[in-house]
A and B are shown apart, each in its own frame.
Chain A
Amino acid sequence: MPATPLHFQTVSELSASLAAGTLTSVALTEAIIDRTLAVEDRVQAFNSHDHEAALAQARDSDARRASGRALGPLDGIPIGLKDVIAVRGQPLTASSRILANFVSPYDSTVATRLRAAGMVFWGRLNLDEFAMGSSTENSATRITANPHDLTRIPGGSSGGSAAAVAAGQLPATLGSDTGGSIRQPAALCGVVGLKPTYGRVSRYGLVAYASSLDQIGPLGRTVEDVALLLQAIAGPDERDSTSFDTPVPDYRAALAAPRQRPWRIGIPKEYFGAGLDPEVAAAVQTAIAHYRSLGAEIREISLPHTDYALAAYYIIATAEASSNLARFDGVRYGHRSPDAENLLEVYFKSRAEGFGAEVKLRIILGTYVLSSGYYDAYYGRAQKVRTLIREDFVRAFGEVDVLLTPTAPTPAFKRGEKSADPLAMYLADIYTIGVNLAGLPAISVPCGFTAAGLPIGLQLIGRPFAEADLLAAAHAYDSAHDWTRRTPNC
């Protein structure tokens, strides 16, 4: 069997080679750049990239290592960020026309932490505009393809982040997850994607979609890789009041830590009903069988308010979005309509020209549900439903350690297949949004392929701030399989 090319190696493998001196960051970064450019015409994962800047960081990394001052296991490894995470001096477009020419003058907290870990920033990754979508088709910049089938979507909204890892354009990326935006594209592209507990990773510098739901998280080829990345970005931040001041354990060490008692895994029956693709269901059942073979106790549980999650999500998320996106007004930065004659026209025309259809739809919906006389009926009620959904999970975790579900109801669908039907598109997140409403950590791990060669993901959901346990449970499956070695021919 031929050696895995650099661009398909895991972060752990690359880290070991860098540490052993058999690989330099410059050589690795050049290989990543070459691979990126070789497939980018077809994959279209990147909104922008700057190979000079990346190579300069790689040279710095090699110099540090040469003088014995390497910054840790991630030093010298390239990483790509979803184009909603601010990096000083780099474009920050949110895949929107309204920020087409915006360059961030400041670093997000995660960017600061990745810099401190020595990582090499390579590229800005495509997404559904302002992270609103499940297919990355809502991007104003380009249409990203699923590397496993270029006629299909990569999922979304972190479609660029998932596709780039799948296509070998990056060993790891960061995405953001508001209703499934890391996990669903990870599942559809056949990579690992982690949404941490709300408050585990600082949101400072993440372009806000829905502030009470958004969370930054890593995507990679293995559970071990996302554990390494989580290690680098997790922890309280004085710039984000919603970041939680609780210790960050050693996540990689937790993967192999001996377990005192077998896993108790809950299977929520509501996540296996109508609408679930039979091939996805079969793959997930096979994974459940694997856990059983490892000695896990499998229990069916119920999350009775699951049916209301989608409605509550679209009220809360759009309400917050309508307010969060008010700052894009053409006054201080971003697109300003050249035809505006007065203040109101600056607002109306800049926003009309700058935002895409899905963003407008959600701003209008969010404005409506917050408006005087409707607040209690919509936003107030949705918050109550959110509490009920959270309580469902609390009850479940009284009985089990983790929950196991499919990540998405179907494998990747064809480009354009659901564009005309927003509700059908929203159903792509049916298994992932409850987790955001409850603020829980969850991970999508590849668990097979359909007959047509499309990746399938399983989702594990953990207790709040129990990422170490969640990652260990995911690793127990992932380390015994090698689905991500089945790389696409793109």
Chain B
Amino acid sequence: MQYEAVIGLEVHVQIKTRSKMFTRVAAGYGQPENTLTDPTVLALPGALPVMNKAAVDAIIKAGLMLGCAIAPVCKWDRKNYFYPDSPKNYQISQYDQPICVGGAVEIELPGPARNVMGEHKSIPLTRIHLEEDVGKLNHGAGGSLIDYNRAGTPLMEIVSDPALQSADEAYAYLQSLRTSIVYAGISDCDMEKGQLRCDANVSIRPVGETKLGTKVELKNLNSIAFVRDGIAHEIARQLAVVKAGGVIVQETRDYDGLTGTSQSLRSKEMAHDYRYFPDPDLMPVKVDENWKARLASELPERPFDKQRRFMAAEADGGYALPYTLASVLVPDRELSDWFEAAAKLASPALAQPVGNWIVNDLQRELAGAGVALADVKITPAALADLVKLIAAGTLLQNSAKEVFAEIFATGESPAAIVARKGLAAAPTDTAELETWCREAIAANAKAVAEFKSGKESALNGLKGPVMKSAKGKANPKAVDETLRRLLA
């Protein structure tokens, strides 16, 4: 019998706000233990929660970004359970009325080759709701210590439908989700800092079956690669169990990415009764159209929309970028914005060389210098000018590399560098150039014939010898023009 996998992901994302979800004490990472606390975080007797509106703004933005319906009322519920990382022994969450309902995450699967775009799919979302993070337990020889710095950090839980079919799809889903959230400035999604965490519900069923199989929840998938590997491992484990005549037990399993193994944490019998009820300390919040409209106006373009636009023809308002460039630029909002600024200043027709300079040279220089794009001296205008100088034939490709390095180091304008260093292509002596061109035409009868029969690229076979005669210093534009004139 053929089996298929069904996967649903529950992704927790910490929202980047200055203060915590229900109190004004700062949210942050890497501070000394228990310094980001106050009576509310520590659940002292009598302390009360007060909603952080910035966190609600952020989740509504996430919802709008992912096409969710935004509930007209945002209400809060208590999820009751005892655990020392939860100071109140209940978590303020949203139970039956999540603020975002529906929506979808567009994903891109790996293509057949690196330079070929893969299939796009839409993975439907069930809901996104807002809650508060818990503290952190540090288990040591002398006992367990609790750090409540993380407790109360705004956390959104993004729940997908059970609609993913493979570990690769789950991987693509997480990447796309992360890109969208980072784009909207909602979170940095740094998994090492726990800003994005993922649990996966995995089941298998015979192909053709519409009912879901028994699900196993995988926990502690603490990198995107581990999510993919953990799911692949779990699918294989379940297939092996079924093949051996066994049945899948509903349980929670802990996946260890380092050893590539998983073990059972708890079975269904130990499931909690969370006794959800509306939190009487918090008032429901009405989300009106004005509020939504304001947030919608602050949203960035969706990443895959941007990728399509970058790849679209110039006539359709795009930049005709190849997938290899678009797929590198787009996932980084800042880099793609930088590209677009430079491309506009250069001209859409020069977008591809602009993109090449960014993806190849700028990225390399950034990595080499260890600086962020926000801190570089080179401006989109400078790169546009550089690309224009090359296109005009004023600057040759070899010299351009030197100029680029100089702009990157000093921020000086390309024109000034070219002038100071005398890098402009030699002003061409027309008579001499014409002599070289005639020699090249005479020596390459085959290329001439091909060009005359309409093969445009045959002209390159003539340009090479001319450049050689000019020791590489001829203006390519003048060479092109002279050859065409002589062959006309």
A206 touches B46 (CB 8 A): yes
A25-33, A99-107, A157-165, A442-450 - interface stretch: A99-107
B273 touches A371 (CB 8 A): yes
CB of A326 within 8 Å of the partner chain:
yes
- What secondary structure prevails in chain B residues at the interface with A? loop
With known contacts A241-B49, A370-B80, A379–B277 Cβ distance under 8 A: yes
B45 touches A102 (CB 8 A): yes
Q: Distance (Å) between the CB of A90 and the closest chain B CB?
A: 12
In the complex, what residues of B have CB within 8 A of residue A322's CB?
A: 80, 275
- How far is it, in angstroms, between the C-alpha of A154 and the C-alpha of B282 when the chains are bound? 34
A92: nearest residue on chain B (CB-CB)? B45
In the complex, what residues of B have CB within 8 A of residue A367's CB?
A: 275
In the complex, what residues of A have CB within 8 A of residue B51's CB?
A: 241
In the complex, what residues of B have CB within 8 A of residue A323's CB?
A: 78, 80, 90, 275, 277
A332 touches B87 (CB 8 A): yes
A326 touches B90 (CB 8 A): yes
Q: Given B44, B47, B82, which contacts A347 in the complex, CB threshold below 8 Å?
A: B82
Number of A interface residues, CB 8 Å?
A: 44
B84: nearest residue on chain A (CB-CB)? A331
Which B residues from 40 to 86 make CB contacts under 8 A with A? 42-51, 78, 80, 82, 84
Contact with B along A84-104 (1 / 0, CB 8 A): 111000001010000100101
Q: Distance (Å) between the CB of A472 and the closest chain B CB?
A: 30
In the complex, what residues of A have CB within 8 A of residue B192's CB?
A: none
CB of B281 within 8 Å of the partner chain:
yes
Which A residues from 218 to 254 make CB contacts under 8 A with B? 238-242
CB of B208 within 8 Å of the partner chain:
no
A326 touches B82 (CB 8 A): yes
B277 touches A242 (CB 8 A): no
A372 touches B45 (CB 8 A): no
B39: nearest residue on chain A (CB-CB)? A106
Contact with A along B349-377 (1 / 0, CB 8 A): 00000000000000000000000000000
- How far is it, in angstroms, between the C-alpha of A343 and the C-alpha of B276 when the chains are bound? 23
A94 touches B88 (CB 8 A): no
A98: nearest residue on chain B (CB-CB)? B45
Which A residues from 4 to 38 make CB contacts under 8 A with B? none
B50: nearest residue on chain A (CB-CB)? A241
CB of B287 within 8 Å of the partner chain:
no
- How far is it, in angstroms, between the C-alpha of A241 and the C-alpha of B24 when the chains are bound? 13
B277 touches A105 (CB 8 A): no
With known contacts A370-B275, A372-B273, A331–B146 Cβ distance under 8 A: yes
Q: Given A207, A212, A238, A240, which contacts B45 in the complex, CB threshold below 8 Å?
A: A207
A380: nearest residue on chain B (CB-CB)? B277
Q: Distance (Å) between the CB of A197 and the closest chain B CB?
A: 15
CB of B260 within 8 Å of the partner chain:
no
Q: Given B46, B87, B273, which contacts A205 in the complex, CB threshold below 8 Å?
A: B46
B271: nearest residue on chain A (CB-CB)? A372
- How far is it, in angstroms, between the C-alpha of A241 and the C-alpha of B281 when the chains are bound? 7
A327 touches B88 (CB 8 A): yes
- How far is it, in angstroms, between the C-alpha of A33 and the C-alpha of B414 when the chains are bound? 85
Which A residues from 403 to 454 make CB contacts under 8 A with B? none
Residue in B44, B82, B282 whose Cβ sees the most chain A Cβ within 10 Å: B44
A105 touches B44 (CB 8 A): yes
In the complex, what residues of A have CB within 8 A of residue B42's CB?
A: 332-333
Q: Distance (Å) between the CB of B457 and the closest chain A CB?
A: 72
- How far is it, in angstroms, between the C-alpha of A333 and the C-alpha of B45 when the chains are bound? 10
B81: nearest residue on chain A (CB-CB)? A326
CB of B264 within 8 Å of the partner chain:
no
Q: Distance (Å) between the CB of B145 and the closest chain A CB?
A: 11
A326 touches B46 (CB 8 A): no
CB of A177 within 8 Å of the partner chain:
no
Q: Given A106, A319, A327, A370, which contacts B43 in the complex, CB threshold below 8 Å?
A: A327
CB of A204 within 8 Å of the partner chain:
yes
Q: Distance (Å) between the CB of A317 and the closest chain B CB?
A: 11
- How far is it, in angstroms, between the C-alpha of A92 and the C-alpha of B47 when the chains are bound? 13
A372 touches B275 (CB 8 A): yes
- How far is it, in angstroms, between the C-alpha of A355 and the C-alpha of B273 when the chains are bound? 23
- How far is it, in angstroms, between the C-alpha of A189 and the C-alpha of B84 when the chains are bound? 43
B46 touches A84 (CB 8 A): yes
Q: Distance (Å) between the CB of A366 and the closest chain B CB?
A: 9
Q: Given B48, B78, B80, B277, which contacts A203 in the complex, CB threshold below 8 Å?
A: B48
Q: Distance (Å) between the CB of A210 and the closest chain B CB?
A: 8
Which B residues from 85 to 135 make CB contacts under 8 A with A? 87-90
Residue in A86, A320, A326, A347 whose Cβ sees the most chain B Cβ within 10 Å: A326
In the complex, what residues of A have CB within 8 A of residue B280's CB?
A: 210-212, 242, 320
B46 touches A207 (CB 8 A): yes
CB of A375 within 8 Å of the partner chain:
yes
Q: Given A204, A241, A326, which contacts B283 in the complex, CB threshold below 8 Å?
A: A241
In the complex, what residues of A have CB within 8 A of residue B277's CB?
A: 319-320, 323, 370, 375, 379
- How far is it, in angstroms, between the C-alpha of A204 and the C-alpha of B84 when the chains are bound? 24
A332 touches B43 (CB 8 A): yes
CB of A329 within 8 Å of the partner chain:
yes
Which A residues from 177 to 216 make CB contacts under 8 A with B? 203-208, 210-212
B80 touches A240 (CB 8 A): no
A329 touches B82 (CB 8 A): yes
In the complex, what residues of A have CB within 8 A of residue B84's CB?
A: 329, 331, 343
With known contacts A326-B82, A347-B82, A238–B46 Cβ distance under 8 A: no
Q: Distance (Å) between the CB of B34 and the closest chain A CB?
A: 10
B279: nearest residue on chain A (CB-CB)? A211
B285: nearest residue on chain A (CB-CB)? A241
- How far is it, in angstroms, between the C-alpha of A327 and the C-alpha of B46 when the chains are bound? 11
B39 touches A238 (CB 8 A): no
With known contacts A320-B280, A326-B80, A332-B87, A241–B48 Cβ distance under 8 A: yes
Q: Distance (Å) between the CB of A71 and the closest chain B CB?
A: 24
In the complex, what residues of B have CB within 8 A of residue A242's CB?
A: 280-283
In the complex, what residues of A have CB within 8 A of residue B47's CB?
A: 106, 204-205
B45 touches A329 (CB 8 A): no
Q: List 6 A-B contacts (CB under 8 A).
A: A208-B281, A240-B48, A242-B281, A320-B280, A326-B89, A327-B89
Taking Cβ atoms with an 8 Å cutoff, the residues of A that contact B are: 84-86, 92, 94, 99, 102, 104-106, 108, 203-208, 210-212, 238-242, 319-320, 322-323, 326-329, 331-333, 343, 347, 367, 370-372, 375, 379
Q: Which 8 A-B pairs have the closest CB atoms?
A: A326-B89, A212-B280, A211-B280, A370-B275, A205-B46, A327-B43, A207-B45, A372-B273
Give 20 new A-B contacts, CB below 8 A, not counting A212-B280, A241-B281: A86-B44, A94-B45, A105-B39, A203-B48, A207-B45, A210-B280, A211-B281, A240-B50, A322-B80, A326-B80, A327-B45, A327-B89, A329-B89, A332-B43, A333-B44, A367-B275, A370-B275, A371-B273, A372-B273, A379-B277
